[in-house]
Structure 1
Amino acid sequence: MPDVEAGKRFYGELFGWTFEEAYGSSVWARLDGRPVAALAPKRDGRMPTVWTVYFATPDAPALAGRIRAAGGQIVTLPTPVDALGVMALAADPEGAVFGLWQGGTHPGFGARREPGSFAWAQLYARDPATANAFYANLFHDALFGPGAVPEFGRAAVGDVFPAEMPPHFLVHFAVRDGAAALGAVERLGGRVQVPPFEASYGQVAVVTDDQGASFALLQR
């Protein structure tokens, strides 16, 4: 994001997050002391301000190879982040960008599916059937395996957004009271992008923060 300090103020008040230095100029966001997200400054001001979904993997280079073989692209090659882990950025065949994280001393989320933490990632695709084929071959056990807790869905872009919107992932954060959270977003300088609607996994509203990054509020 362009201004990490402004991001800390916005999300700290919205979700009750606290922050500590992570690596470089990035900061960890914590909920009751548990890691729930990270805020990082943009290296290139021409790039959009976004939330990025990272999929955990035990072997980022191997998964990067499978992504290429399945028709995706590697945007950023697997790169060590000190002893914290290995990260990479990839794009699916339709161009939706996502991250890979091979945990080291930082395994990933310390809390999720509770108010103020990650709860769902929705992929808005041009062709959901293509997305199903691509991601099922990469993350089948996590997405479709027996006993798996769903945290990832696929839908057509036009179901919620204008048809010209490019394919993308939308990060959802859980909230106790959707109406109160929407009011807080607007009070803090954000805006409502898509008013509340009912999805199979809860009530969703799409918003942007005060720097233009889109995310969703999810009340279950």
Structure 2
Amino acid sequence: MAVQPEGTPCWADAMFTDLEGAKRFYGDVLGWTFGDSSSQYGNYTQAYADGRAVAAVVPPMPGQEGQSQWCLYFASPDAAATAEKIRENGGEVLMPPMRVGDFGTMVLAREPSGAVFGVWQGGTHEGFETVATPGAYCWSEVFTRDPGKSDAFFSAVFPYRAKDMEDDAVDFRVFDLGADPVLGRMRMTEDFPPEVPSYINVYFTVDDCDAAVDRATDLGAVLRFGPMTSPFGRFAALTDPQGANFSVIDVTTTEGEMPELKDA
């Protein structure tokens, strides 16, 4: 794939204490296969869907053990400049720009409402080799208790144009790059336990949402929401056996009209 425009979600990975367990789970649920672990890079292990790179799993570094969570990376032509913009706009740089061989340069950060994310300046590894195909990344949403902080931050750090959904029942914003929607933002309601921090929810594409949910729950995942059919597809939210939240979506099964969006 060509280098993505600045602010495009371009990669996702997650740390798992039980790496082999994660590989079995996502292999069964999403059909992933896995490359060899790279001991030079902390046993970083790429996942593939139909032979194309779609994500990665890695064991935690010493001292970083804890609940697993998916981390979404946004493309940047200059990771150091993006890190500076993160600091200037109230974010926290958790890991300053670090070159990863010839693959690229990464940054880890936390936006002001608490969601952790990454920045990726691609080298030989540009990011997802396919999207919106079975097993691949499809969409993501920032779940936050303080949308004002998140909205201002993401619009300042990346060249987004924001639109709000015209629905009194939900506080939802879409960030566009040009004409393309690339990121959603959802206000967390009281349905979320108070101990759940802000996070970015990553959606992976599946052929059949209900079958994927059945496979996931049979393997120990917890169903959080759905399956539900929307104008965007039939989707469900899950927590995997090691505590990482993610969603699955069948984009071919849709229902209802697309919601109206207005410029924010």
Q: Distance in 2 between matches of 1:25 and 1:16?
A: 21
Equivalent residue for 2:54?
36
- Is this contact kept in 2: 1:115–1:174, CA < 8 A? yes
Which residue number corresponds to residue 6 of structure 1?
A: 21
Report the more deviating stretch, 163-172 or 113-122: 163-172
Q: Deviations over 1:23-66 (max 9, x none)?
A: 33110001111110000101235422111001111111100000
Using the size of structure 1 for normalisation, the TM-score is 0.92
What CA distance in whole angstroms lies between the structure 2 residues aligned with 1:167 and 1:100?
18
Matched residue, 1:152: 183
Change (3 A) 1:200 1:92: farther
Does 2:104 match 1:85? yes
| % identical equivalent positions | 40
- Given candidates 203, 208, 216, the residue that maps to 1:177 is 208
1:194 Cα offset (Å):
2.5
Structure-2 separation of matches of 1:92 and 1:200: 29
After TM superposition, where is structure 1 displaced by more than 3 Å over at least 4 residues in a row?
197-203
* Shift, 1:139, TM fit: 1.8
Task: For residue 138 of structure 2, give the secondary structure of its aligned residue in structure 1.
Answer: strand
The AA in structure 2 aligned to 1:50 is Q
Confirm or deny: 8 A CA contact 1:157 1:163 kept in the other structure.
no
> 2-side partners of 1:128 and 1:197: how far apart?
24
Name the Cα RMSD after superposition.
1.9
Work out whether residues 115 and 200 of structure 2, in 8 Å CA contact, stay in contact via their aligned partners in 1: yes
Report if the CA contact (8 A) 1:72-1:93 is conserved: yes
Contact 1:206/1:217 (8 A) holds in 2: yes
- Alpha-carbon distance change, 201 to 154 in structure 1, aligned in 2, over 3 angstroms: farther
Rounded to whole Å, the distance in 1 between the matches of 2:64 and 2:157 is 32
The alpha-carbon deviation at position 201 of structure 1 amounts to 3.5
Look up the match of 1:24.
42
| 2:32 partner amino acid | W
Gaps spanning 5+ residues in structure 1: where?
none
Q: 1:71 aligns to what SS in structure 2?
A: coil
Whichever residue aligns with residue 169 of structure 1, its letter is I
CA deviation profile, 1:129-154 (whole Å, cap 9, x unmatched): 33222111222248323222x23100
Q: If the length of structure 2 is used for normalisation, what is the TM-score?
A: 0.77
Greater helix share, 1 or 2?
1
3-state SS of the aligned residue for 2:35? strand
Q: 1:160 to 1:172 in 2, by over 3 A?
A: farther
AA at the equivalent of 1:31: A
Q: Cα offset for 1:177?
A: 1.2
Number of the residue aligned with 1:193: 224
Q: Distance in 1 between matches of 2:194 and 2:150?
A: 17
CA distance in 2, matches of 1:207, 1:177: 15
1:68-79 matches, within 5 Å, as: 68-79=87-98
Q: Deviations over 1:53-102 (max 9, x none)?
A: 01111111100000100110101111111111111100111111000111
> Quick one: structure 1 residues 129 and 45, their matched pair in 2 at CA, closer, same or farther if it must change by over 3 Å?
closer
Distance 1:39 1:179, change over 3 A: same
Q: Which amino acid aligns with 1:186?
A: T
Query: Gaps (5+ residues) in structure 2?
Result: 1-15, 162-174, 252-264
Structure number, greater radius of gyration: 2
